[in-house]
A and B are shown apart, each in its own frame.
Chain A
Amino acid sequence: MNTNRFRNLTAISAFLFLAGCSLIAHYDQVAYEHATSAKVDTLALMDKATGSYDGHQKEVEALVIELNKAYEYDRGRSLNKITVAQWDVLRDPNRNLVGGFLKMWKTKGSLSATFIAEKKLQIADGFDQIIALESGKLKPTEVKQ
C-alpha cells in the first residue's frame, strides 16, 4: 500500500475516532427481514403475471404496500441514504425493476412466461443488492460505543 493512501486512511480514521461518528447505518434485523420477505412475495406474485392484471390487482396493491413499508422503515434510519437510493431504483415505475414490471403488467394486461422468468432473475438480483448491503453493515457486537 503506498504511503499517501496509508496516510489518507490514517487521517480519515483519526477524524472518525475524534468525531466518534459512523459513515453508514449499522445492521438492522428488521430491515433485513423486510427486504427478504418482500423479495419472496414479489417473485411469487410475478409468477401470476401470465394471468390478467385485473384478476390480481388486489395482490399487486398489497405488494406495493409491503414495499412501501420496507422503504419507509429504511428511510427513517439515520445514515441510510444508500439503502434508500437502492429502494428508489427498485420501486420506481419509470424504471425497469419491480415498479416497472408492475406498470408493464398493468399496461399490457398480461406478460409472457419467458419474460417473467427472465425478469424474476433480474429483480431477485436487485433485491440481493439491498440484502447484501444490509448484511455487510456492522453488527451491534462489532460497533465501538
Chain B
Amino acid sequence: MANFDITGILKSVEEQTKALAQQQFKQYTQQAVGDVKDWLQKSKDDLKRWIEELAKGEIDKDEFQSLVQGQIDVAQMRALKQAGLAEAQIESFVNGVIDIVVNAAFAAIP
C-alpha cells in the first residue's frame, strides 16, 4: 500500500480553504456593505425630494406616507436578498472546498 503524507494533504487543504474563504467572503461582504451604503444615500435623497413635492402640493399626505412606508418595504426585500445571497455564497464556498479536497487527494497519489 502506498505511503501518503496525510498531514501534508490536510495542511494543504486547510491553507487553500482559508485562502478561498478570505477571497469569497471578503468579496461578498464588500458588495453587501456597498449595497447598503448606496441605498442609504438614495433614501436620503428620495426623502428630501418627497418633502419638497408634498410642500408644493404635487403629492398628498397619503401618497407621501405610502412612499415612506414603501421605502421600508423595499429595505425588507433588500435584507431578504442579502440573506439569500449569503446562503448561495456558503454553498459556493462548500463546492470550492470539495474541489480543494479532491484535487489535494489526487495530487498526493504517486
Could you tell me which residues of chain B, from 7 to 60, have a CB within 8 Å of some CB in chain A? 17-18, 21-22, 25, 46, 49-50, 53, 58-60
A112 to B56, CA, bound (A): 13
Question: Which A residues lie within 8 Å of B108 (CB)?
Answer: none
A6 touches B18 (CB 8 A): yes
Known contacts A16-B91, A16-B94, A119-B66: does B21 contact A6 (CB below 8 Å)? yes
Q: Is A13 an interface residue (CB 8 A)?
A: yes
CA A118 – CA B92 in complex, angstroms? 37
Interface residues on A, range: 35 or more
Stretch from A38-46, A50-58, A60-68, A78-86 contacting the other chain: A78-86
Known: A16-B91, A129-B77. A136 touches B85 (CB 8 A): yes
**The residue from A23, A104, A129 contacting B81, defined by CB atoms under 8 A apart:** A129
A90 at interface (Cβ–Cβ under 8 A)?
yes
**Which residues of chain A are near B78, meaning CB under 8 Å?**
129
- Contact A122-B70, Cβ < 8 Å, known A10-B17, A112-B59: yes
Query: In the complex, which residues 1-21 of chain A have their Cβ closer than 8 Å to any Cβ of chain B?
Result: 1, 6, 9-10, 12-13, 16-17
Contact A82 B83 (CB under 8 A): yes
Contact of A136 among B21, B88, B90 (CB under 8 A): B88
Docked Cα-Cα span, A19 to B4, in Å, equals 27
The answer to the question of A29 belonging to the interface, with a C-beta cut-off of 8 Å to chain B, is no
The residue from A90, A108, A138 contacting B92, defined by CB atoms under 8 A apart: A138
Contact surface of B with A, Cβ cutoff 8 Å: 17-18, 21-22, 25, 46, 49-50, 53, 58-60, 62-63, 66-67, 69-74, 76-78, 80-81, 83-85, 87-88, 90-95, 97-98
